[in-house]
Structure 1
């Protein structure tokens, strides 16, 4: 079944670069069954109900397409990649992954999901790469799984689907995870989740809790919490990937610098301490941005100007956004061929260590 937004008459032309899509999702069937049990349980998380509760129960063409494609790590996915001119996908466990589960289940199923993804990568080594899913609920086990996923399974990054039961990586109890990612030279893709229980109600009231707005607000805040908590002073080599044009943070860079400095000087909050650098410096040195879901030249060019050509790369956001016309539009961006090759291919090869 094809995505209702996909224009099948269009096909991207063969390019002088490989198109590597860096934020592409999957969901094992067993995980969806676990999700159904959570949804049927007492007082499930409202954001989870809004997100996966909808996709798993709706009979709309979009919802059916997404659930079907999430579970496929074979011919259907490859067919859709070929139709869109995508040479390789960097695949990760869909949000909220194991982070909605209890700690014991999350640790166990993260291993299962990583084994399944690693097998798909072995089966299609020139088309698929994968990221390690972890359970932040148990930071020690998450750190171990990062090492196993990178060193034994051959995965090439770490997926964190933003908050875990309303808790953030800015809390030092999670820093063992960050230490393991840095030690294994594994970038963390900080992927959106719906806002947590104590934040979501105003978004739910007007249908803004998902990708239209709530995802970006919540995930951008998570990244900013990491910056202001001093994560990158403690782990200066750690690299974090943000999708959707950096969840708007690049466009706030000037104000973030000004107001962070003003807040620190005023000693307004005990939690807001001086940093070694400006917030925008960490964006330039510790973050890589993808355009997932944003096939819009002005935003891409602005972010390239701010962070540099080596820190902005392509993503499609499959299967949630599978639009072939967007690939064609991005092929036509007014960039030099060298910069276009960085955007589509070589930045991803460097960040994810693709040979």
Structure 2
């Protein structure tokens, strides 16, 4: 890679900004035990068994590192953050979260996870912020839990680990949850999951079902379904956050607009209705993008150009992708100090409603 920095990153704002990592995975022992039970029973479908089965059972170095990192919200995680120069992390229940569980199991597991995460934030308020988990299988309970997690526990958003056993937030059944997020003024983080059972077969045969490709396909599909279903017309103040430089969506803006306009005019698909705005405008105005797992200069600068500098912010994707050198790569991006401060710090403070003083922002 070009642009190798002279010194390694350190915490404390010495660069002129603190680094807030905005897509950092975490899990409770309760949910990983439930996942292991499902794996042993052969439950959850091919995507779950392929991805979670690997990370929960493999003895290879990377899955072992991931397991240790996921279940830690203390000394190990903080040591890794310090070594990489990460001042603050936005933690969220890792994929697939509760979204492979029925409501009977998911409601309680989500509530317990929120309690545990809030306790971790209380122990380390300058280092951690948390996003709330809910069980989407029980929408009234999900609304109540999101309100509790934000209003009483102090969590700062909602994590959605993409499809809900093959269903998407484009379905109006789930819109009361989005309405609650908008009313609470907290963002929704749409995190990848493996493709649903109807999509995954060919990808899995080729080894392309996970983060290498399948995640991008599944999450970009979910995002587009939300847009074309009218979610952002119905909830114009809703803030959606997606990772991995927008799951390739910024590259397609012109084509989305052109093709959607033609489909509306031809009435080819009953599901494609007129929208108040262009697809590109929803992506540019309603969606914030993080760099999780995507540290290269050219794609980051391209994404900033396509969606706006004020809609792209830093993330690491710990513990799945923990490479301290990638922090250095982003420190060396061709931006002014003011732009880097926004990229690493200020946009995240604004989107997640963080207390700048409490987290030591410069």
Same fold (TM over 0.5): yes
- TM-score scaled by structure 2? 0.94
Match of 2:9 among 2, 12, 20: 12
Distance 1:317 1:266 in 2: 41
Shift in Å, 1:279: 0.2
Distance 1:146 1:296 in 2: 35
Shift in Å, 1:43: 4.6
> 1:134 aligns to what SS in structure 2?
coil
Determine if the alignment matches structure 1 residue 327 to structure 2 residue 324: no
The equivalent of 2:300 in structure 1 is 300
The equivalent of 1:201 in structure 2 is 201
> 1:83 aligns to what SS in structure 2?
helix
Distance 1:46 1:245 in 2: 27
Shift in Å, 1:42: 4.5
Distance 1:44 1:79 in 2: 34
Gaps of 5+ in 2: 1-6, 356-362
Question: What do you get for the CA RMSD once the two structures are aligned?
Answer: 1.1
> 1:24 aligns to what SS in structure 2?
strand
Determine if the alignment matches structure 1 residue 105 to structure 2 residue 102: no
- TM-score scaled by structure 1? 0.96
The equivalent of 2:27 in structure 1 is 27
The equivalent of 2:344 in structure 1 is 344
Distance 1:139 1:294 in 2: 33
Alignment of 1:1-355 (within 5 A): 11-13=8-10, 14-355=14-355
* Alignment check: 8 A CA contact 2:182 2:238 kept: yes
* Alignment check: 8 A CA contact 2:132 2:159 kept: yes
The equivalent of 1:4 in structure 2 is none
* Alignment check: 8 A CA contact 2:42 2:49 kept: no
> 1:132 aligns to what SS in structure 2?
coil
> 2:119 aligns to what SS in structure 1?
helix
Shift in Å, 1:41: 2.1
After superposition, the C-alpha distances for 1:323-350 in whole angstroms (9 at most, x for unaligned) are 0100011101110111100100000000
Q: CA 1:131–1:43 in 2, change beyond 3 Å: closer, same or farther? A: closer
The equivalent of 1:7 in structure 2 is none
Superposition misfits of 4+ residues, deviation over 3 angstroms: none
- Equivalent pairs, count: 347
Distance 2:29 2:107 in 1: 17
Gaps of 5+ in 1: 1-9
Distance 2:283 2:197 in 1: 28
Distance 2:147 2:218 in 1: 28
Q: CA 1:94–1:43 in 2, change beyond 3 Å: closer, same or farther? A: closer
> 2:37 aligns to what SS in structure 1?
helix
> 1:220 aligns to what SS in structure 2?
helix
Distance 2:248 2:329 in 1: 21
Distance 1:281 1:302 in 2: 17
Q: Which moved more, 1:342-351 or 1:299-308?
A: 299-308
Distance 2:43 2:107 in 1: 22
Q: CA 1:42–1:57 in 2, change beyond 3 Å: closer, same or farther? A: closer
Shift in Å, 1:36: 1.0
